[in-house]
């Protein structure tokens, strides 16, 4: 699965406009071949930052849409609506671990990993997911590798964890499973670049 990520800082007085526009853009994508889904999430650390995640079966499917009649999203962007925040943009899925719950509390974590240790990191995340899914309240755990060709996000992984709510996240952090995961970590395997919490506020599926 291919993921296209955007971080947006919206003009504070135009939040409803941003939400409506993103929903409209994702509606343009919805009937396209290879479209898997799109989410808009609000950052819980301030009132102006948003996370956009757009999932496709492949990067080719995404580019086919972008090169089609709706790929420019109406050919214009309302002036002053938002500014882009620096982030990795293009990702390929390496682990997909669906849970049994449903929820809109999303934790986005970015990890730096040396290329020669990619396989070791992925195996460690698989171990993490197996333990985390034992704790009730998990909707999904997905890990993506950045495939940008340049920039500071090369050699990073993006991990998305979606749970029922903050209490479910706290329950995992305080669980025996989380303690077991931490105990088994290898020092120096990865560097935590950032961890941020969001609320999913809009979602479009095929």
For the chain, residues classed under CATH 3.30.70.100 are: 2-88, 91-198
Q: For domain 2-88, which CATH number applies: 3.40.50.300, 3.30.70.100, 2.60.40.10, 3.40.50.261? A: 3.30.70.100
Buried residues in 127-157 as b, exposed as e (16+ CB within 10 A): ebbebbbebebbbbbbbbbbeeeeeebeebb
- The contacts of residue 120 (CB under 8 Å, 6+ apart) are 186, 189
Domain boundaries 91-198, corresponding CATH code: 3.30.70.100
Q: What is the pLDDT of residue 72?
A: 86
The C-alpha R_g of the chain, in whole angstroms, comes to: 17
Q: How many CA atoms lie within 13 A of 22 on its CB side?
A: 29
Q: What is the pLDDT of residue 133?
A: 98
The strand pairing partners of 202, in sequence order, are: 40
* Residue 70 buriedness (CB in 10 A; 0-12 / 13-18 / 19+): middle
Q: Return per-residue pLDDT of the chain as tens, 206 residues.
A: 999 999 999 999 999 999 999 999 999 999 999 999 999 999 999 999 999 999 999 999 999 999 999 888 866 778 999 999 999 999 999 999 999 999 999 999 999 999 999 999 999 999 999 999 999 999 999 999 999 999 999 999 999 999 999 999 999 999 999 999 999 999 999 999 999 999 999 999 99
């Amino acid at each position: 699965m291919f993921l296209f990520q955007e971080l947006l800082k919206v003009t504070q007085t135009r939040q409803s406009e941003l939400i409506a526009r993103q929903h409209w853009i994702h509606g343009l994508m919805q009937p396209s071949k290879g479209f898997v889904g799109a989410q808009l999430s609000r950052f819980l650390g301030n009132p102006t930052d948003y996370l956009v995640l757009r999932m496709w079966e492949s990067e080719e499917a995404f580019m086919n849409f972008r090169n089609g009649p709706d790929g420019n999203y109406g050919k214009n962007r309302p002036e002053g609506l938002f500014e882009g925040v620096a982030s990795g943009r293009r990702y390929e899925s390496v682990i997909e671990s669906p849970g049994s719950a449903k929820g809109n509390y999303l934790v986005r974590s970015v990890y730096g990993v040396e290329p020669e240790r990619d396989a070791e990191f992925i195996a460690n995340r698989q171990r993490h997911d197996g333990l985390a899914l034992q704790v009730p309240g998990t909707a999904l755990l997905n890990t993506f590798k950045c495939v940008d060709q340049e920039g500071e996000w090369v050699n990073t992984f993006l991990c998305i964890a979606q749970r029922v709510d903050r209490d479910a996240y706290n329950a995992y952090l305080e669980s025996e499973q989380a303690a077991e995961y931490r105990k088994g970590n290898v020092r120096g395997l990865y560097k935590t670049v950032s961890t941020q919490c969001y609320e999913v506020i809009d979602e479009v599926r095929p």
